[in-house]
Amino acid sequence: MAESISSILTRLRSGRVRILWLVLGALLLVSALPIGLYHRQVLELSQEKLVDTERVQQTEITRSLAQDVQFFESNLTQQLISQRQILTLTGLIDNVTDPVAEPKVTRLLENFVDSNRNSFVYLTAVGRDGKGTTASQGNFRAEQDPFVAKALQRAFVSCVQSVKFRSDPLALAPDNRPAFVMAVPLKDSQDNFTGMLAAVVSLDPILHRLQDASVRGRVVFIVDHYGHIVAHPDTKHFVPGEDLSDKSHMVAQVKALPKDLRNTETVHFTEKDNNRQVEMLGTYSTFPEVNWAVISERSVDEARADAGVTELNQQALAFVSIVVLVAILFGYFFAVGISTPIRSLAASTRAISRGEFHQRTPVRGATEISELAENFNLMASDIEEYIEKLKEAAEENRELFIGSIRMLAAAIDEKDPYTRGHSGRVAKYSTIIAQEMRLSPEDLDKLKIAALLHDVGKIGVDDRVLKKPGSLTPEEFEIMKTHTTKGANIMRPVSQLKDMLPGIELHHEHMDGRGYPYGLTGPQIPQMARIIGVADTLDAMTTNRPYQTAMDLDYALGRIKALAGSKFDEAIVIALESAVKAGKLRLSAVEVQV
C-alpha cells in the first residue's frame, strides 16, 4: 500500500496522473452536442487554415520561380558575354565575317550551342555589314520565322548603339515553345563597333518548372509588365506574346504596377466561369530586372478539395460518434496514447539533428500535438527542400566551373592549329589511365581539371615560338619550357585549384630527373603529374605536328613502353597498355588529323 501511495504521489508530482485524470474526466463529461459544436468550429478553422496555407504556398512558389527565372536570365547573359570574351581572346572579334576567321567563329558557335542545348536554340555572330555566321539546333532557321527575324533586326540596331538587347516573348513553331532573343555588341580593342553576338533562347527549363508547379487546379505562369504571356504551362491555348491583361484579373494588376517595383502580393478575387462566380486566390511576384512577373492562381474550392475537407468531415463525424460510445471504456487507453505522438515527435527531432531530413512524424493525437507535428513536418520538408536546392546550386556551380575551364583550355589550344583539342584529349587519356589504376572519384575529378589546364601557361608564351612550324632552337625551347611554371603561377591565386597545380607545373618532369622545370626524380613527382605526362606524350605522338607525322596507337605505345622507368612511371605505362588492349582507349580519325 505504501508503495502504491508513493507511486501515485510520484506521478502527481510528475504531472502524468493529473493529465490522465483530466483527459478521462473531460471524456466522461463531454456530450454529443459540445463535441459536435467543437467539430463544426474545427472544420471552419481548418477551411480558413487551408486558404492561409494556399496563400503561403503560392507566395513561396511565385517567389522561388521569380528567383529561378532571374538567375536563369542572368546566367544566359553571362554565358553570352563569356562567348564574346572567347572571341576577343582568340582575336576573332575584329571581323567575324573575315573568310579566314569565319570557320573558326562557326566552330566556336557550334560548340557553344552543343554544350548549351537546353537553353540556346540559335546563335549568330554578325559583322558590321549585318552578315555573319550561325549555329543552331536541329533544322531551326531564324530567317524562316518572321518574328525571330524582326527581333534579330532590332537587336542589331541596339548593338550598333552599344546597348545590350532582350526581346519581347516569342513563340517558336511548331509547338509554341516560349523563347526570346538576346544580344550583346562586339567591339574591337579601340571600343569600335565590329558586330553583334545574338542568341535565340528557349525557355523550356522554365516551362518545365511551371508545368511541375501547375498541379491540382493551380496554374502558374509568367507575364511581362505589358500583360503579354512569357511562358504558360498550356502552350496550346496560351501562346507566348498573347495579351492577357483584359482576360485575367491578376495580369491586369501586374500591368498597372510601376515597372521598377519589386513586390509579392496575394489577392482574393472572383472570376466568372460558365455564368458562375468562382472564388479565386492569386499571387504575383515581380522582378524588375527583366520586367516580368510570376503569377499563381487557384480557386478556393479546389484548394479545399485538394486538402480533403469532405473526407475530413466524414472522418470527423465518425470519430465523434465513436468517442461518445467508447469514451468510458477506452478513455484511459486514449489518455495514455497522448504520449505516443510526443515520443514520435521527439524521435523525429533527434533524426533531423542527425541530418536525416527525410524523417517525418505521424500526425495524430490531440489537436495541439497534431498541429505541432504538422508544423514540424512542414519545417522538415522546407529544410529538405532547401538542402536539395543547395545541392542543385552546388552542382550548377560545378558545371559552370568545369565549363569555364573547358572554354579556357579550348581558347589556349586555338592559338596553335596543331594543338586544337589537345587539352581535351589529354584530359580524356589521363582519366582513362587513372580509372585503370582505380583512383578515387575525387582524385579523378582533380586529375581531369589539371589535365585540361596543363598547358594554360602557353598563353604567356610568345606566338613566334608557340606557332613556329619547324623545330625549336635551344633558346626557343627554353622559352617554351617556361609554360609549366607560368601556368602554375596563373592558376595559383585560385584557391579551388591548389590541388591541381602539381599536374600543371610538373607534367614534364621525368623519372630519371632529366625533365623540367625542377629536375625532380621518381617519388618527388606527384602521381597526377606523372599520369598527365604519359597522356600528353601519347597525344603528341598520335597527332600531326610541324616536326612529325602522326603515329598509329600501337607504334606510339611501343615508344612509350621503351621509355618506362627512365622517363615515365612503369605502373602508369602498364595501366595505359592495359586500357589500350581492353579497347578502352582508342584514337578516332579526328584525333590524328590537324
Q: What is the DSSP letter of 418?
A: G
The residue-averaged pLDDT of 461-484 equals 82
Query: Are the CB atoms for 122 and 145 separated by under 8 Å?
Result: no
pLDDT in tens, 224-282: 998 999 999 988 888 898 898 888 888 988 988 888 888 889 888 888 877 788 888 89
Confidence at 220, pLDDT banded by 50, 70, 90 = very high
Dist CA 392 CA 388 (whole Å): 6
Q: Which residues neighbour 448 within 8 Å (Cβ) at sequence distance 6 or greater? A: 427, 430, 431
Mean pLDDT taken over the chain? 81
The residue-averaged pLDDT of 541-565 equals 86
Write down the residue that cell numbers 524588375 correspond to: 288
Position 310 scores a pLDDT of 57
The residue-averaged pLDDT of 502-531 equals 92
Q: Can you give 46-66 as a three-state secondary structure string?
A: HHHHHHHHHHHHHHHHHHHHH
Query: Is the pLDDT reported for residue 475 higher than 70?
Result: yes
Start-end of H helices in 90-242: 102-115, 146-160, 204-213
Note the Cα 419 to chain centre separation in Å: 32
Query: Is the pLDDT reported for residue 16 higher than 80?
Result: no
All 3 cell numbers of residue 316?
470527423
Dist CA 454 CA 452 (whole Å): 6
pTM of the model: 0.47
Distances (CA, A) of 226 to 206, 256, 486, 513, 572: 20, 9, 53, 70, 64
All 3 cell numbers of residue 268?
482574393
Dist CA 75 CA 92 (whole Å): 23
Domains in the chain, start-ordered, CATH in brackets?
A: 22-50+308-387 (no CATH), 52-307 (3.30.450.20), 414-592 (1.10.3210.10)
